[in-house]
A and B are shown apart, each in its own frame.
Chain A
């Protein structure tokens, strides 16, 4: 048959080609390959992968890669592990047994370079280099280490790096990742890892007996990662961190006109360059309280109660209610925070003094279902969608699990919000009902300067509130700072509007702990800044005070130099990075 003949010939030709190729490699090129094989002289030297930088909204660096010196060794070239360990322990701060353990461990490829110690000090580099002739197979090599310029102050925002875990490797096996790779493990480093991470490069070389490069057989250019430009302002971040100090809690600020996050601080924090040190410490240093802490909103929620009550016409602006310090509903006694009571007041005074009896009463008139509806309308109970990993959704409960209108009206019961959700709430009041999606990264730029991603503000929804209601609410919020519970946040020359909140957690038996919160915006009549200060343990007055410190520094520094260095002055639009 014709076909079989053709196939037989195809077999003959193919096998002949293979045989000829073997003849070429094994006979004609034998001397060359035989020499290469005898001398074992092929080495691969991989370069580190430079990650992209993270910069603030004005192009000031927040995180970048710095060169460093690493001590490495090639197992195959090591002549006498015991002696070299003995020598080396005098040169670098390292235990002899630890060194011997590293030297005698079994490695898959005896020619791979193994790091003994990262980031050597200049003295260590000098002493190891001087004694290089005594240390065959051990040498200093340039490497890369990640430097976070703000340290702990931006730890939760930026995150940290770490070796890829088994589970991550399985999940992202298609992304070109391999065991031992270092990837972002938290914060922006994690969320934008695919952009920040570059592609590794390096060379394939033939070396001589002393390990010098003789010939480069292959080369792969590395590709640095993309740079991130944030909406965050570095000065603002520093001011916020300083003001919060050692208080357990968090600060988050955003431009209410577009959702750009200006500062995000959580405390306690970890050292992003040595995160493992924080593993043992208490106080949950890895918890980003801004997006992962879920707390009862407390009196800040009275903003929602007031809107719901006025909008549903459950009360009118000048309706007055008497606060005697307590009220009895069924067989439960309900207390105001002010024991002797506030006396007769209307909503214009009840908000600044944060009267629980007043808000409890109007909450009952409005009905718990409608309060919870308004909470959902303001996007509470679901993640805001910020571009950071691990955001929690908070909780807006069902009516029958809420704990009743009295509790919900003052932000207790089973309501839970993250500090970021409170910020989103107060920002939407500031801008007249628009709920913007908070975001941290404004632009992604490639190493060649190409715009890879350009983030524009995203309006999640607009809540319609009648102008009359808005006016009453905004006047009330101004008075909170002017003469009410938030007076500690007042800034000379700038009108600030805000709301304090204190929420109880735990029972009276186990010991109450109170959270203090302050949510505000400024300037009150033309807001360009919204801010939430949240304290895990502390009073709302203290939160207001911290907010005051931050506002004064940010707002006044603007007036003084007017250089446009901070975010608030720059109009908050997109053309200004």
Chain B
């Protein structure tokens, strides 16, 4: 294609916005459900979050234009500022967080989740740290783990187990890309195995119960167990071609509280059936493959590591989120990129895509 020769990041952007439109279509349907009608009565309009999401997309697009132009190698130095700032924000949210779980910081009319920022900043920091360092040297290996552990522990405390777990996985993928010897990976697994019983012993009974229901939702047939069953009914009842747009019965009666966020994949599966699921997964596959092609195309090590890290975020979040709705993975509170309602993540995702396009368009160090 001619266009992509002049602007090689174009393909990535097109795929991104196709996915975003897909998400808006689903979100509009979700806004017609009972739950959203009763919950957002304070504004008199159930599609409030549909419009909010649009605002975030516009903001994110503006951000994307900036990150696409801003010479990305500067981040190698900027992380010295960004990383401590993120840690500070995570501390602030622990101290003054809103809601039942302390995850939010309120900025004007918007709630912001520093954990979403932490994902991207960790990728940049790890990439900066690992560039021109040998991951197979014990000190560097330990350094990367420390770099990950600090935000992961703070996020775990919120408590947001899913995101903390995601950070660790992203770190592993980046280490792998940086050339980590397989036996070191083994060391990590052994470390996790050894440390978990120690952690377990220090926990209060109610914390243990929470972890157990996280791993085995059927322990709690009303909370997570109920959600999982309803989620499977919703997906299964969609069949091959689905019940039709805006005609999902499960989602409209609100058997799950989170059809617009964590469980939006159910809505897709119910209204568009296996056919819709296949199209969505196909699109997402193209998107992920495009990210990996950026990795292959880039000669700059920092750029390659950043791209791998961001790829890991998009890949793992989608797989974990969908596995969760299908009952293949514990319920984790991880949103589906570009689809789930959620401002902070949409913003960070678009900034990341801008950064990726930037890397794709500047593959060589001059």
Interface residues of A, Cβ cutoff 8 Å to B: 1, 3-4, 7-8, 10-12, 14-15, 17-19, 21-23, 25-27, 29-30, 32-34, 36-38, 40, 42, 44, 46, 106, 108-110, 169, 173-176, 199-200, 202-204, 217-220
Q: Please choose the segment from B50-58, B77-85, B228-236 that sits at the chain A interface, where 4 or more of its residues have CB less than 8 A away.
A: B228-236
A26 touching B277 in the complex, CB below 8 Å, given contacts A42-B230, A204-B226? yes
Asked if B322 is at the interface of the complex by the 8 Å CB criterion, the answer is yes
A27 touching B240 in the complex, CB below 8 Å, given contacts A11-B285, A108-B38? yes
Contacts of A12 in B (CB 8 A): 285
Measured CA separation A25–B273 after assembly (Å): 10
Contacts of B274 in A (CB 8 A): 22-23, 26-27
Inter-subunit contact B323/A33 (CB<8 Å): no
Inter-subunit contact B292/A4 (CB<8 Å): yes
5 nearest interchain CB pairs?
Answer: A33-B236, A218-B221, A37-B237, A204-B221, A25-B236
A176 touching B235 in the complex, CB below 8 Å, given contacts A1-B296, A219-B221? no
Measured CA separation A40–B230 after assembly (Å): 10
A26 touching B221 in the complex, CB below 8 Å, given contacts A8-B289, A106-B38, A108-B38? no
Asked if B258 is at the interface of the complex by the 8 Å CB criterion, the answer is no
Chain B residue nearest to A220 in the complex (CB)? B221
Return B163 CB to nearest CB of chain A, in Å: 18
Measured CA separation A7–B294 after assembly (Å): 13
Contacts of A217 in B (CB 8 A): 221, 229
Inter-subunit contact B206/A27 (CB<8 Å): no
Q: Please choose the segment from B103-111, B128-136, B247-255 that sits at the chain A interface, where 4 or more of its residues have CB less than 8 A away.
A: B247-255
Chain A residue nearest to B320 in the complex (CB)? A14
Inter-subunit contact B292/A18 (CB<8 Å): no
Chain B residue nearest to A22 in the complex (CB)? B277
Asked if B328 is at the interface of the complex by the 8 Å CB criterion, the answer is yes
Inter-subunit contact A220/B233 (CB<8 Å): no
Inter-subunit contact B235/A15 (CB<8 Å): no
Inter-subunit contact A34/B250 (CB<8 Å): no
Return A102 CB to nearest CB of chain B, in Å: 16
Inter-subunit contact B292/A8 (CB<8 Å): yes
Inter-subunit contact A18/B281 (CB<8 Å): yes
- Name the contact of B319 in the complex, choosing from A14, A32, A175, A199 (C-beta under 8 A): A14
Measured CA separation A202–B319 after assembly (Å): 32
- Name the contact of B220 in the complex, choosing from A8, A10, A220 (C-beta under 8 A): A220
Chain B residue nearest to A43 in the complex (CB)? B226
Inter-subunit contact A30/B220 (CB<8 Å): no
Contacts of A4 in B (CB 8 A): 292, 295-296
Inter-subunit contact A26/B38 (CB<8 Å): no
Inter-subunit contact B235/A26 (CB<8 Å): yes
A202 touching B315 in the complex, CB below 8 Å, given contacts A21-B326, A106-B38? no
Return A237 CB to nearest CB of chain B, in Å: 33
Q: Main SS of the interface on chain B?
A: helix
Return A177 CB to nearest CB of chain B, in Å: 9
Inter-subunit contact A174/B206 (CB<8 Å): yes
A22 touching B222 in the complex, CB below 8 Å, given contacts A11-B289, A27-B240, A108-B254? no
Contacts of B236 in A (CB 8 A): 25-26, 29-30, 32-34, 36-37
Measured CA separation A36–B308 after assembly (Å): 42
Chain B residue nearest to A35 in the complex (CB)? B237
Return A446 CB to nearest CB of chain B, in Å: 12
List residues 201-234 of chain B with CB under 8 A from any CB of chain A: 206-207, 209-210, 218-222, 225-226, 229-230, 232-234
Inter-subunit contact B311/A218 (CB<8 Å): no
A-B contact pairs, 27 of them (CB 8 A): A3-B295, A3-B308, A4-B296, A8-B289, A10-B315, A18-B326, A18-B328, A19-B278, A26-B238, A27-B239, A30-B237, A33-B237, A36-B233, A36-B236, A37-B236, A37-B237, A38-B249, A42-B229, A173-B101, A176-B206, A176-B209, A203-B221, A204-B221, A204-B222, A204-B226, A218-B225, A218-B226
Contacts across chains A and B counted by CB atoms under 8 Å: 139
Inter-subunit contact B237/A11 (CB<8 Å): no
Chain A residue nearest to B277 in the complex (CB)? A22
Contacts of B225 in A (CB 8 A): 204, 218
Supply 9 further A-B pairs (C-beta < 8 A) apart from A202-B221, A203-B221, A220-B221: A3-B295, A4-B292, A11-B315, A15-B284, A18-B322, A33-B232, A34-B236, A36-B233, A110-B253
Return A382 CB to nearest CB of chain B, in Å: 30
Measured CA separation A17–B234 after assembly (Å): 19
Chain A residue nearest to B312 in the complex (CB)? A7
Asked if B288 is at the interface of the complex by the 8 Å CB criterion, the answer is yes
A26 touching B239 in the complex, CB below 8 Å, given contacts A4-B292, A110-B253? yes
- Name the contact of B269 in the complex, choosing from A15, A26, A169 (C-beta under 8 A): A26
Chain A residue nearest to B230 in the complex (CB)? A42
Return A214 CB to nearest CB of chain B, in Å: 14
Chain A residue nearest to B242 in the complex (CB)? A26
Chain B residue nearest to A169 in the complex (CB)? B100
- Name the contact of A220 in the complex, choosing from B173, B219, B249 (C-beta under 8 A): B219
Return A83 CB to nearest CB of chain B, in Å: 24
Measured CA separation A218–B327 after assembly (Å): 15
Measured CA separation A174–B292 after assembly (Å): 41
Measured CA separation A3–B173 after assembly (Å): 10
Inter-subunit contact B277/A220 (CB<8 Å): no
Asked if B45 is at the interface of the complex by the 8 Å CB criterion, the answer is no
Inter-subunit contact B289/A30 (CB<8 Å): no
Task: Report B298-314 CB contacts with A as 1/0, cut-off 8 Å.
Answer: 00000000001001000
Measured CA separation A22–B38 after assembly (Å): 31
Contacts of A200 in B (CB 8 A): 222
Chain A residue nearest to B238 in the complex (CB)? A26
Chain B residue nearest to A205 in the complex (CB)? B221
Task: Report B84-95 CB contacts with A as 1/0, cut-off 8 Å.
Answer: 000000000000
- Name the contact of B288 in the complex, choosing from A11, A42, A110, A199 (C-beta under 8 A): A11
Return A76 CB to nearest CB of chain B, in Å: 9
A36 touching B289 in the complex, CB below 8 Å, given contacts A15-B284, A18-B322, A44-B221? no
- Name the contact of A22 in the complex, choosing from B39, B218, B269 (C-beta under 8 A): B269
